[in-house]
Amino acid sequence: MLRYFILTAALLGTLFQAMGSTQQAFSVRVVATGLAGPWEVIWGPDGYLWVTERTAGRVVRINPADGAVTLAVRIAEVYPGTSWHEGLLGMALHPDLLKGAGRDYVYVAYTYDADPGTALSRKLKLRRYTYNATAHTLVDPVDLLTNLPANDDHGGGRLAFGPDQKLYLSRGDDGANWLQNYCKPNRAQDLPAASAVLAKDWSTYSGKLLRLNPDGTVPSDNPVINGVRSHIYSYGHRNPQGLAFGPTGILYESEHGPGTDDEVNRIVAGSNYGWPYVAGYKDDRTYVFADWSHTTTPPCATLKFTEYGVPPEVPKHKESEWKGTFVPPIRTFFTPDERYDPQTGGSSTIAPSSLEMYAARTNAIPGWANSLLLPGMTRGLVYRMKLAEDGQSVVGPNEELFRTQNRYRDMAIGPDARTFYLATDPAGLGRTTDLSGKSTLEYANPGAIMEFRYK
């Protein structure tokens, strides 16, 4: 027993030393700055960083050596809106880009006004471009899927190209039943009828992960959910902004929780992830589903939305009251204990903006092989989680990395597996944390690409 304790203490000492030295193990450099809301950053096959600028509607290529920015396309149709959830969002590069296979395709997702001229009809679309490697521009736009629901909150919008040669697109719950949209019913649990799929009515696609053929059609092997096959791959999501594939093809996702319980999920085709009935685990801790939009007496619109102290007229449902089947997260950030009071305890979340797989096994940073990296916005940190060998779960504590006074929006990993590129939010997008741990609205490096290189 005594020996056990000595060993454990020694191990813990090593662990804390390793965690404490994390910051010193990396050199930091600002690669580029002055970007208009960099939202996606990808290490391209040409050795450039490919970046979407959310509010400017631009795709740019950045030389990582000198930070020179080259415009690939400006998409005039992008509707940037005024919220954090609109504009040019996700991007995915076809794995055959610049391989001479005739598939030099780049996919983007963005919000646009589907009814210009009259009232605003905010929608999201998926578009494909072809890269002209001589002119270094994106040309020949093809709209693959249009008229997807969009709003001024919880837009999701992350894109990924899967090892199964399918496209994956995350869609948020559009902020329904929350803040300024509190009287709008939440549709994260709604599923389409066969007739809606035939009629290309995608109005149920809020709060979903979508899986598409590269031409935008429904894959014939997509899950049949509630008797219907559609683009929907999984449902019951709040605001999923991270998608990453593991080396064996497992899909991981991250999504924002409601003041507690940001989630990292392992995605199983056809499954329900619980929102809005459950946040994090089904544990009745803190979260109660307050169904504002279905308040009838008095009508919802006559009530004033509050996050805490929800009025008695609003129907409330404890997590344990819901009898549906769902897949719980593999990790939360964070599920507080019973003593936590959300009104006085502050936010227990990190605002996870994306997710990256660190698959490297050769040249990997010691201990890092087979990890997930989770950038967050409100704490100026990236969290590393070690995956179990089979990829089904995460093991051990989180490691906190790359602490700066910034909101990290996305990340790319360099081909050496030792260089990391972080995109930061532009000024004015809400709080982050300073180096002493205090909440702040000032960012050290707004609208930048930062490089962290392992020494």
Q: Which is nearer to Ca ion, 105 or 300 (CB)?
A: 105
CB of 127 to Ca ion, least distance (A): 18
Residue 90, number of CB atoms within 10 A of its CB: 27
Selection from 43, 76, 81 nearest residue 58 by Cα: 76
How far apart CA 431 and CA 445 sit, in angstroms, is 14
- Closer CB to Ca ion, 36 or 355, in the complex: 355
Cis check for the bond before 26: say yes or no (omega within 30 of 0): no
**Tokens (6 digits) for 211:** 């899986």
Residue 210 vs 264, nearer CB to Ca ion: 264
Length of the chain: 455
Task: Single out the residue of 429, 451, 455, 454 nearest to residue 440, CA to CA.
Answer: 429
DSSP characters for 246-293? -TTS-EEEEE--SSS-EEEEEE-TT-B--TTT-SSSSS-SS-EEE-GG
| Residue ranges that bind Ca ion, judged by CB under 5 A | 273-274, 279-280, 283, 287, 410, 412
Between CA 310 and CA 100 the distance in angstroms is: 59
Residue type, 254: S
Comparison of 122 and 376: residue with beta carbon closer to Ca ion: 376
Locate 292 and state its tokens.
């504002």
Query: Is 154 marked active-site?
Result: yes
- The catalytic position among 85, 94, 136, 154 is 154
User: Cβ 10 to Ca ion, closest distance in Å?
Assistant: 36
CB 171 within 8 A of CB 275: no
> Please, what is the minimum distance in Å from the beta carbon of residue 280 to Ca ion?
4
Q: For Ca ion, which is the closer residue by CB, 279 or 330?
A: 279
Q: Are residues 110 and 131 in contact, defined by beta-carbon separation less than 8 angstroms?
A: no
Residues with a catalytic annotation lie at 154
